[in-house]
Amino acid sequence: MGDKLGVKEYRLALRENKLQGLKCKACGFVTAPPRLACRHCGATDSEIVQLSGKGKIATFTSIFIPPESHRGQTPYLVVVVELAEGPWIMGNIQGADPNKATLDLIGKSVHMDNNLIPDDKKPPEDISPMFVLDS
């Protein structure tokens, strides 16, 4: 079954700067974040794989009016990254100015580095992939 990579395991890995996904044994598609069924073909037999954390920015926005959880942090960037292994994933980005973000960001190469989030800023549970522009 594909639920061996649950919310808890996935988040613990993210805290250690590891991005995990599930590779479908039927079609080879990588689903991340994890789902019981393959996002591509619906099969439920999969194995946990380590992802590179590398990819390209698919789209982005700068948030100026935040939810409760992010009060006092605006503006900040949210990005969707197309991972090298295929799936799109939501996260944040460091090294780009949220006040000056333009469409030029789309297509830029990034890699995940959750070690950039200081330990005291890592929330006990909620954690999101943090990407950095490749230099």
Partner 1 sequence: MRKVAVVGVGQTVFSGAQSRSNTELFSEAAMEALNEANLKNKDVQALLVGTVLTDFEECQQIANTYISENLGLPHVPTNTYDGACASSSVAIIDAFIWIASGMYDIVLVGGMEKVASMGTHLATQTYTMYADRYYDYPSGITFPGMFAMLANLYAKKYNIPIEILKEQMALISVKAHKFGALNPKAHLQRELTVEKVFRSPMVCQPLNVYDCCPFSDGGAAIVMTSEDIARKLTDKPVFITGFGQASAGTFVSQQEYLPHFITRQISSAKAYKMAGIKPLDIDVCELHDSFSISEILAVEGLGFFDYGTGGAASARGETIHGGKVVINPSGGLKAKGHPVGATGAAQVYEIFRQLRGESGATQVDNARIGLTDAMGASGNINCNIVLERGW
Q: Which residues bind Zn ion (CB under 5 A)?
A: 24, 26-27, 29, 38, 40-41, 43
State the minimum distance, in angstroms, from the CB of residue 72 to partner 1. 11
State the minimum distance, in angstroms, from the CB of residue 18 to Zn ion. 23
What is the distance between the alpha carbons of residues 23 and 40, in angstroms, rounded to a whole number?
Answer: 11
**Percent helix, strand, coil in the chain (nearest 5)?**
20, 35, 45
Q: Which of 62, 109 has the CB closer to partner 1?
A: 62
Q: Which of 22, 112 has the CB closer to Zn ion?
A: 22
Chain positions contacting partner 1, by CB under 8 A = 7, 11, 33, 35, 39, 58-70, 73, 76, 78, 80, 82, 87-92, 98, 101-103, 106-107, 123, 126-128
State the minimum distance, in angstroms, from the CB of residue 99 to partner 1. 9
User: Partners of 55 in the beta sheet?
Assistant: 83, 110
What is the distance between the alpha carbons of residues 74 and 65, in angstroms, rounded to a whole number?
Answer: 7
What is the distance between the alpha carbons of residues 22 and 116, in angstroms, rounded to a whole number?
Answer: 25
